[in-house]
Amino acid sequence: MSKASSPGASAPAGNDVRLSASAGGITLMQASFADHAFERHSHDCFAIGVTTYGIQRFRCKGQRYDSRVGDLVLFNPDEDHDGAPGSADGFRYLLWYVPAAFVRSCLDRDAGLRGTPYFAAPQSTDRRMAAAFGRRTLALLDSAGESLRAESLAGALIGTLLARYGERPQAAVDTPRRAGSAHLHRVKDYIHAHFQRDVTVAELAAVSGLSRAHLTRAFTAAFHMPPHVYLNSVRIAQAKALIRRGLPLAATAIECGFADQSHLTRRFKGSVGVSPADWRRMLCAGQRQAALPQALSAR
């Protein structure tokens, strides 16, 4: 057994992901990976989790981390990272995908914090908080049909994490603008407006007023990811929204700027860990389970 393994746990025999929809727009993920490697990507929401087995190795903003059992993983929106097993044992983790609006609602207004907070670092070792996160995840999974309870439980834990590991957002978010790089934010806006097309470096260079070579360097320095990674994250976020609304996968691929459904599947699995078809199936199953207690009570 690896020293990074929890007592009595066995190594993942394969790659397995389970998703559940919770209140407040939160998605819960229970994942085991024997050999899957995530490509460099980011999310349009917070990704908050804990490693429960093995070593989860990832790079974030140019630095390598080895997340072991009891380590918290704290990714901010648009924060690029990858991920892979750090040993032959594979790894497991619990993860919450949390909308920024929900995180803002968890702020302690009396403490004088405003805006959307950001976590100061993507990893922290806090075994007590990791254990609390595991218990809270089980409670959320057992809160189908109890939105008020689920939102209260999730909000309380996120508030505690922000108090311990959060930072005031303006210093982090406004730095690129204060450095005179508003033109790079125009590039972001352009990507959001035109992600359905095959966007080129020449287009983005024209929008920014920079040379093609300088654009990529400047964008990466300001936002810790190159433009193509940001474009992919925007497309994946839009794909999730369309899949939730029931759009067929082939149509979703075209609407989001992918060449075809297989292209969507490759990029989606590289960022999320499962295919879009499996992601849709698991979320739909979770939504039906959450709706069942309400339907029974209405009889």
- The three-class DSSP label of residue 55 is coil
Task: Name the helix (H) or strand (E) containing 109.
Answer: none
Q: Look at residues 71, 48, 70, 63 and name the one whose alpha carbon lies nearest to residue 124.
A: 71
DSSP conformational letter for 24:
G
Mind listing the pLDDT tens digit for each residue in 16-72? 999 988 989 999 999 999 999 999 999 999 999 999 999 999 999 889 999 999 999
Choose the final residue of a domain: 132, 152, 169: 169
Same domain? 165 vs 178: no
User: What is the domain-level CATH number for residue 217?
Assistant: 1.10.10.60
Residue 59 and residue 130 share a domain: yes
Looking at the predicted structure, is the pLDDT value of residue 282 above 60? yes
Residue 214 has pLDDT above 90, yes or no: no
Q: Dig out the tokens for 67 from the structure.
A: 């997340």
**Residue with more model confidence, 12 or 76:** 76
User: Can you tell me the distance from the alpha carbon of 164 to that of 297, in angstroms, rounded to the nearest whole number?
Assistant: 40
For residue 221, give its domain range: 172-281
Q: How many CB atoms lie within 10 A of CB 63?
A: 10
Q: Which two tokens stand for residue 252?
A: 């979703």
Domain identity same for 99 and 239: no
H helix count then E strand count, the chain: 12, 12
Query: Which of the two residues, 107 and 47, has the higher pLDDT score?
Result: 47
